[in-house]
Structure 1
Amino acid sequence: MALLDSFTIPDFHLPFESAKHPQSGRANSEATSWALHHGLITDAAEQFAGIGFGHLSGRVCHEAPYRHVVLLAEWMAWSFVLDDQHDHLIRAERLEAWRPLTDAITGYLATGKIDSAPQLRRNPLVVGFIDLCDRILADMPPTVRERYRVHIPLMLRSLDQEAANRNAAQQPTIDDYVRMRRHSSQLLPMMDMVEAGLGVEVPPEVYNSSAFQDLMSSALDVISWGNDVFSLRKEFSCGDNNNLVSLLAWWNEWSLPEAVLAVQERTRSRIEDFLTAAQGLPDVLDTLEVTDPSARAGVARCVKSYQDWMIGADLWQRYECTRYSDERWVAGLESTYIRPDLVPGI
């Protein structure tokens, strides 16, 4: 595969309107302070704030009350630290410390207790998760809460798979990667949070239908593949093969710019899939005998939320997030806010 040639991040032609909560900047500052207070970061707070998680939260949760915007921003801050610390453990060849950490998190999610080593009960990632989880679950309707409890373990297991992919002799197939990426993007728990913040609830029979799952998967793919383009320089530079551009280039013997254009075309096709699925949802609701106007309105609002996610994530990465342009990050190095001691050896 060719070395990382220069390329231009393409326009993904997202046909959706964008909006943003007026207090997004405040949410970004409060989420940064929350991360500092919990010890998730201790240095380079300005660089960490430059990720712009409050701005992303404000784009995808712009119609929700402010408390939901800042809660989602704090969750995003926690998620970025989790992702970066996982990457640190891979680089440091310390992955044996990862499983006890995730076991503590999933254990608390399931039982409300931490049955782990004392140092994990005090770990900032675990303590931060407990603080967030309690507040998130308190605000969720029962059906959304149940989905959130399912999505967190799937998200954590997908990060295990990412680590396995980086250490494997064989590159993952495109189809396997796409399925994994829907969870490693960490989007599903956040989408649950937005749905709860907006006060809408998709009936379980609709949410679990193949038609709605196809619609949601197309939105996840559009967001995730766009992020793969924005994060390509860093991931290629540090040898991370969990990127659709890199994998398409490897399997097809393309240059990276050629693969970027292929991802642009794949994304265009997935946008069409989303629009077609959304257009067909009223008939699906009729077939499922979902006639309650409030339930049908909730489904329509959730579809609009997925549109907010697609356009909001794109605009955030282009204009409000310094993560993908930071010199250290682009060079494949760790960010200066990383705490090498955050996850203790087990």
Structure 2
Amino acid sequence: MIVPPLFSPLSPAIHPRYAEVDSRTALWAEAHRIGSDELRRRLVRHEIGSFAARVMPYGREEVVQLMADFVLWLFGVDDGCCEEGDLGCRPGDLTETLHRLLRVAQNPEAPVLPGDPLAEGLRDLRARVDRYATDGQAARWVGHLREYFFSVVWEASYRSTGTVPSLTDYTLMRLYDGATTVVFPLLEMAHGYELQAGERDRRDVRAAEEMASFVITWDNDILSDHKERSGDGFFLNVLRVLEADGLGRREAMATAIAQRDRVLVAFSRLTDHLTATGSPQLRQYMAGLRSFVRGSQDWGISSVRYTTPEDPAGLPASFTGTPTDDSPDPLGIEAVAWWWDEVPPAASPVARRGARRTRRGSLVGTA
């Protein structure tokens, strides 16, 4: 099925050292033997370094590199253990493995999984996190890794039975099993600042984070649908969830796009508000979230992971500035309806015209 151009009001950018980052990530994967030989060959073709470079276009190169290596490691877990490995259909056994990996992340000196490629790769990643993170950022990184592990076990329970969750349950699972939250501390680390607890714990900031996760994962589901349907194994994405609710394939695609458009409109409005009213650190964090969303979009339509040139996926080559759904009302997903309590109302057309006149008057007055 052809995917139409998706709405994005966000500006693209990429770190100038993206090619070098990508080359080093390929070397890192080989040095740590991440995944099987065949999986590793596939992963290094996906230009994961350019993904990190799009997410952190102005970040410290060492942290961009850390993110690229970490994302490849995450694919090693997700593809190798969950989606394509036997553990992905055995939630109990998967829990054991992931719990041991979590201990490696918490205490890399612990003699857990010695010699295991994923564990040794994680030890290297944790050492580099400690190099560039504050204690609080490192703790949040481990905490978000726990969220990711917990959610992929939930996903494995559906894979083990070949069932499909409700839209609400899928949304809750997808906010974490896409590993988006694990990237959030890296956005700070890449620019050398730390959000204060008083801002980090605010509901509106958490709403902005969750909206970013929603858009990134819905985009991933839309853009990876062709690849997943072409495979032999169990797949689970929002299109399949909507189809299980009775929608046809085209209607499911249109509905998923409308959902992500509505959330992206709200996300843009909320991050604009937080940028205008927040501290310098919060403004930087909002810029990081926006780059994360747009970087994921640009990589999603360009990486061979999703374009699958041997069996073209029919993905768009560009984005549109017009959403298919810009309603200010919450989605019909109860678990996330609270987001819209934090979104400032859109200015009326009359107010916008008045603001434009005021700005023009100010310019004339200072001439």
Alignment TM-score, normalising by the size of structure 2: 0.78
Structure 1 residues 259-278: aligned runs within 5 Å: 259-278=252-271
Secondary structure of 2:37's counterpart equals coil
Q: Which amino acid letter does the alignment assign opposite residue 20 of structure 2?
A: R
Question: Percent identity, aligned pairs only?
Answer: 20
Secondary structure of 2:306's counterpart equals coil
2 CA distance for matches of 1:92 and 1:254? 27
Question: How many residues in Structure 1 have an aligned counterpart in Structure 2?
Answer: 310
* Residues 42/57 of structure 1: CA separation in 2 closer, same or farther (3 Å cut): same
Q: Could you say which residue in structure 1 is the equivalent of 2:21?
A: 27
1:19-77: CA deviation from partner (whole Å, max 9, x where unpaired)? 10111111111101111111114635553222111000000111112111111111111
Is the aligned partner of 1:304 residue 2:287?
A: yes
* Residues 272/254 of structure 1: CA separation in 2 closer, same or farther (3 Å cut): same
1:268-312: CA deviation from partner (whole Å, max 9, x where unpaired)? 100122123224436875xxxxxxxxxx11101111111111111
Q: Which amino acid letter does the alignment assign opposite residue 212 of structure 2?
A: A
| Relative contact order higher in (CA < 8 Å, ≥ 6 apart) | 1
Q: Could you say which residue in structure 1 is the equivalent of 2:337?
A: none
Q: Which amino acid letter does the alignment assign opposite residue 146 of structure 1?
A: A
Instruction: Tell me if structure 1 keeps the 8 A contact 2:148–2:179.
Output: yes
Structure 1 residues 279-318: aligned runs within 5 Å: 279-281=272-274, 296-318=279-301
Is the aligned partner of 1:84 residue 2:66?
A: no
Give the C-alpha shift of residue 137 in structure 1: 2.4
* Residues 93/282 of structure 1: CA separation in 2 closer, same or farther (3 Å cut): closer
Alignment TM-score, normalising by the size of structure 1: 0.83
* Residues 241/88 of structure 1: CA separation in 2 closer, same or farther (3 Å cut): closer
Instruction: Tell me if structure 2 keeps the 8 A contact 1:187–1:220.
Output: yes
Q: Could you say which residue in structure 2 is the equivalent of 1:293?
A: none
2 CA distance for matches of 1:29 and 1:41? 18
Instruction: Tell me if structure 2 keeps the 8 A contact 1:16–1:311.
Output: yes
* Residues 93/55 of structure 1: CA separation in 2 closer, same or farther (3 Å cut): same
5+ residue gaps, structure 1, are 1-6, 286-295, 332-346
Give the C-alpha shift of residue 196 in structure 1: 0.8
Give the C-alpha shift of residue 95 in structure 1: 5.5
2 CA distance for matches of 1:223 and 1:13? 13
Instruction: Tell me if structure 2 keeps the 8 A contact 1:53–1:73.
Output: yes
Give the C-alpha shift of residue 211 in structure 1: 0.9
Larger radius of gyration: 2
Secondary structure of 1:324's counterpart equals helix
Secondary structure of 2:129's counterpart equals helix
Instruction: Tell me if structure 1 keeps the 8 A contact 2:214–2:260.
Output: yes
C-alpha RMSD of matched pairs (Å): 2.4
Structure 1 residues 321-340: aligned runs within 5 Å: 321-326=303-308
Instruction: Tell me if structure 1 keeps the 8 A contact 2:51–2:295.
Output: yes
Is the aligned partner of 1:245 residue 2:239?
A: yes
